[in-house]
Amino acid sequence: MAQNFQSIPLDSVESQWEILFNRFDRNRDGKISVHDLYHVLKQESGDQYNVPPKVLTIIAHRADHDQDGYINFREFLNLMEEEPIAKNLGKSILNKYIHYTVVPREHHRVRAGLRSGQDLTDGDYEDQYSCNPPALCMIIVSLIEVLFFCWDVLKLNTTESIHGPMASTFIYNPHRRREVWRYFTYMFVHVGNTHLVVNLIVQLLLGVPLEMVHHGWRVLLIYLSGVLAGSLATSVTDPTVYLAGASGGVYALITAHVATIIINWSEMDFAIYQLLIFGFLITFDTGSSIYNRYFVNVDNQIGYTAHLAGAIAGLLVGVYTLRNLNVLPWEKKLCWFCFIIYVLLIGSAVIWNAVFLEYFCKEQF
Protein backbone atom coordinates (compact mmCIF):
# COMPACT_ATOMS: atom_id res chain seq x y z
CA MET A 1 0.00 0.00 0.00
CA ALA A 2 1.14 3.52 -0.62
CA GLN A 3 2.88 4.98 2.39
CA ASN A 4 1.54 8.11 4.00
CA PHE A 5 4.28 10.70 4.12
CA GLN A 6 3.73 11.22 7.83
CA SER A 7 4.85 7.64 8.50
CA ILE A 8 8.25 7.98 6.78
CA PRO A 9 11.09 7.80 9.33
CA LEU A 10 13.03 11.01 9.93
CA ASP A 11 16.29 9.58 8.65
CA SER A 12 14.70 8.88 5.26
CA VAL A 13 12.85 12.19 4.78
CA GLU A 14 15.65 13.70 2.71
CA SER A 15 15.75 10.69 0.39
CA GLN A 16 11.97 10.90 -0.07
CA TRP A 17 12.21 14.58 -1.03
CA GLU A 18 14.98 13.59 -3.43
CA ILE A 19 12.59 11.15 -5.12
CA LEU A 20 10.12 13.99 -5.64
CA PHE A 21 12.82 16.38 -6.84
CA ASN A 22 14.10 13.84 -9.37
CA ARG A 23 10.62 13.45 -10.77
CA PHE A 24 10.71 17.03 -12.03
CA ASP A 25 14.42 17.07 -12.84
CA ARG A 26 13.78 15.19 -16.06
CA ASN A 27 17.10 15.90 -17.76
CA ARG A 28 18.98 14.86 -14.59
CA ASP A 29 21.13 18.00 -14.42
CA GLY A 30 20.50 18.46 -10.71
CA LYS A 31 18.18 21.46 -10.99
CA ILE A 32 14.65 22.48 -11.97
CA SER A 33 13.49 25.84 -13.24
CA VAL A 34 11.56 28.28 -11.07
CA HIS A 35 8.91 28.38 -13.79
CA ASP A 36 8.41 24.59 -13.62
CA LEU A 37 8.23 24.64 -9.83
CA TYR A 38 5.54 27.32 -9.96
CA HIS A 39 3.37 25.26 -12.32
CA VAL A 40 3.82 22.14 -10.21
CA LEU A 41 2.70 23.97 -7.08
CA LYS A 42 -0.18 25.61 -8.95
CA GLN A 43 -1.42 22.33 -10.41
CA GLU A 44 -1.21 20.53 -7.09
CA SER A 45 -2.84 23.24 -4.98
CA GLY A 46 -6.15 23.14 -6.88
CA ASP A 47 -9.27 23.47 -4.78
CA GLN A 48 -7.79 21.57 -1.84
CA TYR A 49 -5.49 24.39 -0.71
CA ASN A 50 -6.78 27.30 -2.83
CA VAL A 51 -3.44 29.12 -2.69
CA PRO A 52 -3.43 32.44 -4.61
CA PRO A 53 -1.14 32.46 -7.68
CA LYS A 54 0.78 35.43 -6.29
CA VAL A 55 1.68 33.44 -3.18
CA LEU A 56 2.85 30.52 -5.30
CA THR A 57 5.04 32.88 -7.32
CA ILE A 58 6.62 34.24 -4.14
CA ILE A 59 7.24 30.71 -2.84
CA ALA A 60 8.84 29.57 -6.09
CA HIS A 61 11.14 32.59 -6.33
CA ARG A 62 12.00 32.53 -2.63
CA ALA A 63 13.39 29.03 -3.10
CA ASP A 64 15.88 30.32 -5.68
CA HIS A 65 18.43 31.74 -3.23
CA ASP A 66 21.11 32.55 -5.82
CA GLN A 67 18.52 33.99 -8.24
CA ASP A 68 19.85 32.07 -11.25
CA GLY A 69 16.38 30.96 -12.36
CA TYR A 70 16.92 27.37 -11.23
CA ILE A 71 16.49 25.47 -7.98
CA ASN A 72 18.96 22.79 -6.97
CA PHE A 73 18.12 19.98 -4.60
CA ARG A 74 19.43 21.76 -1.50
CA GLU A 75 17.28 24.82 -2.25
CA PHE A 76 14.30 22.55 -2.92
CA LEU A 77 14.86 20.73 0.37
CA ASN A 78 15.07 23.98 2.31
CA LEU A 79 11.85 25.16 0.69
CA MET A 80 9.97 21.98 1.58
CA GLU A 81 11.23 21.96 5.15
CA GLU A 82 10.79 25.67 5.88
CA GLU A 83 7.77 26.83 3.86
CA PRO A 84 4.51 25.38 5.33
CA ILE A 85 2.43 25.75 2.16
CA ALA A 86 5.09 24.27 -0.08
CA LYS A 87 5.65 21.46 2.40
CA ASN A 88 1.97 20.45 2.38
CA LEU A 89 1.81 20.60 -1.40
CA GLY A 90 4.99 18.57 -1.64
CA LYS A 91 3.59 15.88 0.62
CA SER A 92 0.50 15.62 -1.56
CA ILE A 93 2.55 15.28 -4.73
CA LEU A 94 4.86 12.72 -3.15
CA ASN A 95 2.02 10.54 -1.87
CA LYS A 96 0.31 10.53 -5.26
CA TYR A 97 3.55 9.78 -7.01
CA ILE A 98 4.38 6.79 -4.80
CA HIS A 99 0.86 5.39 -5.03
CA TYR A 100 0.16 5.68 -8.73
CA THR A 101 3.48 5.22 -10.47
CA VAL A 102 3.90 1.61 -11.64
CA VAL A 103 6.30 0.51 -14.35
CA PRO A 104 4.92 -1.98 -16.88
CA ARG A 105 7.45 -4.70 -17.62
CA GLU A 106 7.10 -4.46 -21.37
CA HIS A 107 8.38 -0.88 -21.49
CA HIS A 108 11.53 -1.71 -19.52
CA ARG A 109 11.52 1.73 -17.92
CA VAL A 110 12.90 2.54 -14.51
CA ARG A 111 10.48 4.51 -12.42
CA ALA A 112 11.35 8.20 -12.53
CA GLY A 113 13.33 9.35 -9.54
CA LEU A 114 13.98 5.92 -8.05
CA ARG A 115 17.56 4.84 -7.68
CA SER A 116 18.51 1.43 -9.06
CA GLY A 117 17.27 -1.41 -6.90
CA GLN A 118 14.71 0.61 -4.95
CA ASP A 119 11.34 -1.13 -4.59
CA LEU A 120 7.85 0.05 -5.25
CA THR A 121 5.58 0.39 -2.24
CA ASP A 122 3.65 -2.66 -1.05
CA GLY A 123 0.23 -3.03 -2.65
CA ASP A 124 1.09 -1.76 -6.13
CA TYR A 125 0.57 -5.29 -7.49
CA GLU A 126 -3.00 -5.32 -6.20
CA ASP A 127 -3.61 -1.96 -7.90
CA GLN A 128 -3.04 -3.65 -11.27
CA TYR A 129 -6.22 -5.75 -11.14
CA SER A 130 -8.45 -4.73 -14.04
CA CYS A 131 -11.39 -6.07 -16.04
CA ASN A 132 -10.24 -4.24 -19.15
CA PRO A 133 -9.64 -6.30 -21.21
CA PRO A 134 -12.03 -8.86 -19.70
CA ALA A 135 -10.52 -12.07 -18.30
CA LEU A 136 -12.04 -14.55 -20.74
CA CYS A 137 -9.33 -17.08 -21.62
CA MET A 138 -9.81 -19.47 -18.71
CA ILE A 139 -13.57 -19.08 -18.94
CA ILE A 140 -13.50 -20.12 -22.61
CA VAL A 141 -11.21 -23.08 -21.88
CA SER A 142 -13.54 -24.17 -19.07
CA LEU A 143 -16.59 -23.96 -21.34
CA ILE A 144 -14.87 -26.14 -23.94
CA GLU A 145 -14.10 -28.73 -21.26
CA VAL A 146 -17.74 -28.72 -20.17
CA LEU A 147 -18.93 -29.15 -23.77
CA PHE A 148 -16.60 -32.13 -24.34
CA PHE A 149 -17.80 -33.76 -21.14
CA CYS A 150 -21.49 -33.17 -21.86
CA TRP A 151 -21.17 -34.56 -25.38
CA ASP A 152 -19.78 -37.86 -24.11
CA VAL A 153 -22.36 -38.04 -21.32
CA LEU A 154 -25.16 -37.64 -23.86
CA LYS A 155 -23.66 -40.28 -26.14
CA LEU A 156 -22.97 -42.90 -23.44
CA ASN A 157 -25.56 -41.95 -20.81
CA THR A 158 -22.90 -42.15 -18.10
CA THR A 159 -20.49 -39.73 -16.47
CA GLU A 160 -17.80 -42.24 -15.52
CA SER A 161 -16.47 -43.44 -18.87
CA ILE A 162 -13.49 -42.45 -20.99
CA HIS A 163 -14.78 -44.37 -24.00
CA GLY A 164 -17.01 -41.67 -25.44
CA PRO A 165 -16.27 -40.24 -28.89
CA MET A 166 -14.63 -37.08 -27.54
CA ALA A 167 -12.64 -38.85 -24.84
CA SER A 168 -11.45 -41.58 -27.19
CA THR A 169 -10.26 -39.01 -29.71
CA PHE A 170 -8.56 -36.55 -27.38
CA ILE A 171 -7.35 -38.44 -24.30
CA TYR A 172 -3.60 -39.00 -23.98
CA ASN A 173 -3.23 -42.63 -25.02
CA PRO A 174 0.26 -44.14 -24.57
CA HIS A 175 -0.50 -46.53 -27.43
CA ARG A 176 -1.21 -43.68 -29.84
CA ARG A 177 1.60 -41.25 -29.20
CA ARG A 178 1.96 -40.42 -32.89
CA GLU A 179 -1.31 -38.54 -32.67
CA VAL A 180 0.54 -35.58 -31.28
CA TRP A 181 -2.54 -33.48 -30.55
CA ARG A 182 -3.22 -35.81 -27.62
CA TYR A 183 -0.27 -34.24 -25.74
CA PHE A 184 -2.47 -31.14 -25.44
CA THR A 185 -6.08 -32.20 -25.90
CA TYR A 186 -6.24 -34.60 -22.95
CA MET A 187 -6.93 -31.48 -20.90
CA PHE A 188 -10.48 -31.42 -22.36
CA VAL A 189 -11.26 -34.97 -21.18
CA HIS A 190 -12.53 -35.66 -17.65
CA VAL A 191 -13.54 -38.84 -15.88
CA GLY A 192 -16.60 -38.16 -13.77
CA ASN A 193 -18.40 -35.11 -12.44
CA THR A 194 -16.04 -34.61 -9.52
CA HIS A 195 -12.95 -34.62 -11.73
CA LEU A 196 -14.47 -31.97 -13.99
CA VAL A 197 -15.93 -29.74 -11.29
CA VAL A 198 -12.77 -29.66 -9.17
CA ASN A 199 -10.60 -28.74 -12.15
CA LEU A 200 -13.05 -26.05 -13.27
CA ILE A 201 -13.28 -24.45 -9.84
CA VAL A 202 -9.54 -24.38 -9.27
CA GLN A 203 -8.56 -23.13 -12.71
CA LEU A 204 -11.17 -20.36 -12.64
CA LEU A 205 -10.29 -19.27 -9.11
CA LEU A 206 -6.59 -19.19 -9.97
CA GLY A 207 -6.64 -18.26 -13.64
CA VAL A 208 -9.04 -15.33 -13.71
CA PRO A 209 -7.17 -13.25 -11.07
CA LEU A 210 -3.93 -13.84 -12.98
CA GLU A 211 -5.58 -12.68 -16.20
CA MET A 212 -6.78 -9.50 -14.50
CA VAL A 213 -3.17 -8.48 -13.85
CA HIS A 214 -1.12 -10.23 -16.54
CA HIS A 215 -3.67 -10.51 -19.40
CA GLY A 216 -5.12 -13.64 -20.91
CA TRP A 217 -2.45 -14.60 -23.43
CA ARG A 218 0.19 -14.94 -20.72
CA VAL A 219 -2.04 -17.07 -18.53
CA LEU A 220 -3.10 -19.27 -21.45
CA LEU A 221 0.54 -19.76 -22.44
CA ILE A 222 1.40 -20.88 -18.92
CA TYR A 223 -1.64 -23.17 -18.78
CA LEU A 224 -0.74 -24.87 -22.07
CA SER A 225 2.92 -25.16 -21.08
CA GLY A 226 1.80 -27.06 -17.98
CA VAL A 227 -0.46 -29.33 -20.04
CA LEU A 228 2.36 -30.14 -22.46
CA ALA A 229 4.88 -30.67 -19.68
CA GLY A 230 2.44 -33.00 -17.91
CA SER A 231 1.94 -35.30 -20.89
CA LEU A 232 5.61 -35.35 -21.93
CA ALA A 233 6.83 -36.04 -18.40
CA THR A 234 4.28 -38.82 -17.96
CA SER A 235 5.25 -40.39 -21.27
CA VAL A 236 8.88 -40.54 -20.15
CA THR A 237 8.50 -41.57 -16.50
CA ASP A 238 5.24 -43.54 -16.60
CA PRO A 239 4.88 -44.78 -20.19
CA THR A 240 1.81 -46.99 -19.64
CA VAL A 241 -0.43 -44.36 -18.04
CA TYR A 242 -3.37 -42.71 -19.81
CA LEU A 243 -3.93 -39.04 -19.08
CA ALA A 244 -7.25 -37.22 -18.77
CA GLY A 245 -7.99 -33.90 -17.15
CA ALA A 246 -6.42 -30.48 -16.91
CA SER A 247 -4.34 -31.10 -13.80
CA GLY A 248 -1.09 -30.22 -15.56
CA GLY A 249 -2.51 -26.84 -16.54
CA VAL A 250 -4.11 -26.31 -13.14
CA TYR A 251 -0.82 -26.96 -11.37
CA ALA A 252 0.88 -24.57 -13.76
CA LEU A 253 -1.58 -21.89 -12.65
CA ILE A 254 -0.83 -22.62 -9.00
CA THR A 255 2.91 -22.18 -9.43
CA ALA A 256 2.35 -19.21 -11.75
CA HIS A 257 1.04 -17.49 -8.64
CA VAL A 258 4.25 -18.52 -6.88
CA ALA A 259 6.22 -17.07 -9.81
CA THR A 260 4.46 -13.73 -9.65
CA ILE A 261 4.99 -13.61 -5.88
CA ILE A 262 8.72 -14.13 -6.43
CA ILE A 263 9.15 -11.46 -9.11
CA ASN A 264 6.75 -8.97 -7.48
CA TRP A 265 7.57 -9.68 -3.83
CA SER A 266 7.99 -6.06 -2.74
CA GLU A 267 4.95 -4.91 -4.68
CA MET A 268 2.50 -7.37 -3.07
CA ASP A 269 0.61 -7.30 0.21
CA PHE A 270 0.98 -10.46 2.33
CA ALA A 271 3.35 -12.13 -0.15
CA ILE A 272 4.75 -14.55 2.43
CA TYR A 273 1.27 -15.81 3.37
CA GLN A 274 0.30 -16.34 -0.26
CA LEU A 275 3.51 -18.24 -0.86
CA LEU A 276 2.87 -20.52 2.11
CA ILE A 277 -0.70 -21.22 1.00
CA PHE A 278 0.27 -22.19 -2.55
CA GLY A 279 3.19 -24.25 -1.27
CA PHE A 280 0.83 -26.16 1.01
CA LEU A 281 -1.64 -26.81 -1.83
CA ILE A 282 1.05 -28.20 -4.10
CA THR A 283 2.64 -30.37 -1.42
CA PHE A 284 -0.66 -31.74 -0.11
CA ASP A 285 -2.20 -32.62 -3.47
CA THR A 286 0.95 -34.12 -4.98
CA GLY A 287 1.57 -36.10 -1.81
CA SER A 288 -2.01 -37.38 -1.85
CA SER A 289 -1.67 -38.47 -5.47
CA ILE A 290 1.55 -40.36 -4.77
CA TYR A 291 0.04 -42.01 -1.68
CA ASN A 292 -3.10 -43.09 -3.52
CA ARG A 293 -1.03 -44.42 -6.39
CA TYR A 294 1.37 -46.62 -4.41
CA PHE A 295 -0.13 -47.23 -0.96
CA VAL A 296 -3.90 -47.42 -1.48
CA ASN A 297 -5.68 -50.17 -3.39
CA VAL A 298 -7.44 -48.14 -6.07
CA ASP A 299 -8.49 -49.15 -9.55
CA ASN A 300 -7.29 -46.09 -11.43
CA GLN A 301 -3.70 -44.98 -11.82
CA ILE A 302 -3.29 -41.31 -11.03
CA GLY A 303 -0.72 -39.61 -13.22
CA TYR A 304 0.90 -37.62 -10.41
CA THR A 305 3.89 -36.96 -12.67
CA ALA A 306 1.67 -34.65 -14.72
CA HIS A 307 0.88 -32.69 -11.56
CA LEU A 308 4.53 -32.25 -10.67
CA ALA A 309 5.62 -31.47 -14.23
CA GLY A 310 2.81 -28.95 -14.64
CA ALA A 311 3.88 -27.25 -11.42
CA ILE A 312 7.50 -27.00 -12.57
CA ALA A 313 6.41 -25.66 -15.96
CA GLY A 314 4.14 -23.04 -14.41
CA LEU A 315 6.97 -21.77 -12.22
CA LEU A 316 9.56 -21.65 -15.00
CA VAL A 317 7.32 -20.14 -17.67
CA GLY A 318 5.62 -17.87 -15.16
CA VAL A 319 8.85 -16.22 -14.06
CA TYR A 320 9.75 -15.52 -17.68
CA THR A 321 6.28 -14.57 -18.95
CA LEU A 322 4.34 -12.77 -16.23
CA ARG A 323 4.52 -9.02 -15.67
CA ASN A 324 7.24 -7.85 -13.34
CA LEU A 325 6.28 -4.43 -12.00
CA ASN A 326 9.83 -3.44 -11.06
CA VAL A 327 12.52 -5.37 -12.93
CA LEU A 328 15.78 -5.77 -11.02
CA PRO A 329 19.04 -6.96 -12.61
CA TRP A 330 19.01 -10.34 -10.86
CA GLU A 331 15.42 -10.91 -12.00
CA LYS A 332 16.44 -10.54 -15.64
CA LYS A 333 19.01 -13.29 -15.16
CA LEU A 334 16.43 -15.44 -13.37
CA CYS A 335 14.00 -15.02 -16.29
CA TRP A 336 16.52 -16.27 -18.83
CA PHE A 337 17.58 -19.11 -16.55
CA CYS A 338 13.97 -20.31 -16.21
CA PHE A 339 13.36 -20.01 -19.95
CA ILE A 340 16.46 -22.05 -20.81
CA ILE A 341 15.66 -24.76 -18.24
CA TYR A 342 12.09 -25.12 -19.55
CA VAL A 343 13.25 -25.39 -23.17
CA LEU A 344 15.88 -27.99 -22.22
CA LEU A 345 13.38 -30.10 -20.28
CA ILE A 346 10.73 -30.01 -23.00
CA GLY A 347 13.31 -30.60 -25.72
CA SER A 348 14.75 -33.59 -23.88
CA ALA A 349 11.31 -35.16 -23.46
CA VAL A 350 10.46 -34.63 -27.13
CA ILE A 351 13.74 -36.23 -28.23
CA TRP A 352 13.14 -39.16 -25.87
CA ASN A 353 9.69 -39.72 -27.39
CA ALA A 354 11.03 -39.51 -30.93
CA VAL A 355 14.19 -41.61 -30.57
CA PHE A 356 13.72 -44.33 -27.94
CA LEU A 357 10.66 -45.98 -29.43
CA GLU A 358 11.31 -49.37 -27.82
CA TYR A 359 10.87 -47.77 -24.39
CA PHE A 360 7.18 -47.05 -24.99
CA CYS A 361 4.06 -49.13 -25.42
CA LYS A 362 3.48 -50.68 -28.80
CA GLU A 363 1.62 -48.34 -31.10
CA GLN A 364 -1.99 -49.23 -31.95
CA PHE A 365 -3.90 -47.87 -34.92
Kindly name the residue from 247, 257, 266, 289 that is annotated as catalytic. Answer: 247
At residue 172, φ and ψ (nearest 5 deg) are -75, 115
CA distances from 172 to 59, 90, 149, 212 (A): 74, 62, 15, 31
Burial category of 294 from C-beta neighbours within 10 Å (exposed 0-12, middle 13-18, buried 19 and up) = exposed
Distance of CA 226 to the CA centre of its chain: 15
Nearest to 210 by CA among 200, 221, 199: 221
At residue 60, φ and ψ (nearest 5 deg) are -65, -45
Q: Which residues pair with 71 in a beta bridge?
A: 32
The interaxial angle of helices 34-49 and 13-24, nearest 10 deg, is 110
Q: Respond yes or no: is residue 247 known to be catalytic.
A: yes
Please, what sign has the CA dihedral across residues 275, 280, 283, 289? negative
Catalytic residues: 247, 307
